[in-house]
Homo-oligomer: A and B are copies of this chain.
Amino acid sequence: MGRNRATLADVARRAGLSKTAASMVLNGREGTRLSAEAHQRVFAAAEELGYRPNLAARSLRTRKTATIAFVSDIVATTRFAGDLIRGALDAARERDHVLLITETQGDATFEQYAIEAVLDRQVDGVIYAAMATRRLTVPAAILGGPVVLLNATSPDGLPSVVPDDEGAGRSVATALLELGHRDAIALIGRNRLKEDDPEVSLAARARLHGIRQTLDEAKVGLLAECFCTEWLPEHGYAAMRSLLSKPKRPSAIICMNDRLAFGAYQALGEAGLTVPEDISVISFDDDPIAAWLRPSLATTALPHEQMGRRAVELLLDGGAAEPSLVPMPLRRRRSLAPPAG
């Protein structure tokens, strides 16, 4: 990689000036008294030689690398990781930085390795990302430099970026109320573990809270709440079947995520019911399947790309210490209608 690149000394020689002069000109240093002509000559020489500074040499002296570490627990499992990374990548590029990516897989040994690898390379800062919104403890070793938590919060009060799940809960409930649903709204996806342990999830509690708050204000109660051990399609399917076996059929279903909703659709289809004529469905995440379902599924989008971008901005431009909440936009789609009758 990169064999015979021109060095600063080459540029200086060609410009007939010293390395010092060339360095100062190219770095646009203020307060230097180099003549306009010297500037010209240096720029011309650099241009002609296709000069690009050797970043290893520079960072040896300056301790800056224009590199950000992106350390996450698990990148691959969820499709959302890609968006988080893409947002970060974009924002990093705009600021002339680059992303060093490592993954801990939740394994302490790997985490140790990742941290050493990152510190050894003297990154300018670390984005510590979680794939499920949750609380976590940041390893002390990286606290020597700037750190931003992405999709996570920590007890240390580090700057962090998380989605506004509570707001999403309110949006979802409001959307149903506006359509006239009142006494027959059911919820699929209650989960004690997710709701009670912030190290597992922050989203479940916040979403539930937003929903409850909005319904309470409207003096509306939930018709039923189904607990699910996981938020996967099969659990949504089972929950929906159990709801349909009860005497009073719901007019609308809120699913805690799109995969549950997908399962609910399957059960509804088997039961010969149609969405949204018989039952409205609304959900969270905006997984790609939400748009692929028939009818398309209304949901609140996890703004992962935005979040990734925000994390880089907080890291490089500095920012408030309290968690930065990124709104989750409501995607109104075909699965919503006023209650039948």
- How many Å lie between the Cα of A271 and that of B25 in the bound state? 73
In the complex, chain A residues 39-91 whose Cβ is within 8 Å of any chain B Cβ: 52-57, 59-60, 63, 65, 67, 70, 75-79, 81-83, 85-86, 89
Question: Is the beta-carbon distance between B86 and A76 smaller than 8 angstroms?
Answer: yes
Question: Is the beta-carbon distance between B3 and A144 smaller than 8 angstroms?
Answer: yes
Instruction: Judge whether A259 is part of the interface by a CB distance below 8 angstroms.
Output: yes
Instruction: Judge whether A266 is part of the interface by a CB distance below 8 angstroms.
Output: yes
- The segment from A110-118, A203-211, A323-331 that touches chain B is A110-118
Interface-central residue, A56, A81, A86, A262, by most chain B CB under 10 Å? A56
Question: Is the beta-carbon distance between A83 and B89 smaller than 8 angstroms?
Answer: no
Number of copies: 2
With known contacts A60-B60, A76-B83, A79-B79, A55–B122 Cβ distance under 8 A: yes
Instruction: Judge whether A101 is part of the interface by a CB distance below 8 angstroms.
Output: yes
Q: How many residues of A contact B (CB 8 A)?
A: 64
Give chain B residues whose Cβ lies under 8 Å from the Cβ of A102.
89, 93, 98-99
**A125 partner, pick from B1, B118, B125, beta carbons under 8 A:** B1
Question: Is the beta-carbon distance between A121 and B289 smaller than 8 angstroms?
Answer: no
Instruction: Give the Cβ gap from A106 to chain B, nearest Cβ, in Å.
Output: 13
Question: Is the beta-carbon distance between A76 and B85 smaller than 8 angstroms?
Answer: yes
Question: Is the beta-carbon distance between B2 and A122 smaller than 8 angstroms?
Answer: yes
**A122 partner, pick from B54, B76, B234, beta carbons under 8 A:** B54
Interface-central residue, A113, A269, A294, by most chain B CB under 10 Å? A294
Question: Is the beta-carbon distance between B259 and A292 smaller than 8 angstroms?
Answer: yes
Instruction: Give the Cβ gap from A168 to chain B, nearest Cβ, in Å.
Output: 21
- How many Å lie between the Cα of A275 and that of B263 in the bound state? 17
Question: Is the beta-carbon distance between A75 and B65 smaller than 8 angstroms?
Answer: no
Question: Is the beta-carbon distance between A99 and B98 smaller than 8 angstroms?
Answer: no
- How many Å lie between the Cα of A302 and that of B117 in the bound state? 30
Give chain B residues whose Cβ lies under 8 Å from the Cβ of A259.
292
Instruction: Judge whether A128 is part of the interface by a CB distance below 8 angstroms.
Output: no
List 3 A-B pairs, minimum CB-CB distance, nearest first.
Answer: A1-B145, A79-B79, A76-B86
Binding site for B on A (CB under 8 A): 1-3, 52-57, 59-60, 63, 65, 67, 70, 75-79, 81-83, 85-86, 89, 93, 98-103, 110, 113, 116-126, 142, 144-146, 232-234, 237, 259, 262-263, 266, 269, 288-289, 292, 294, 305
16 A-B pairs with CB atoms under 8 Å apart are: A1-B144, A2-B119, A2-B122, A53-B120, A55-B120, A56-B56, A67-B100, A67-B121, A75-B82, A75-B86, A89-B102, A89-B103, A98-B121, A232-B292, A237-B294, A262-B292
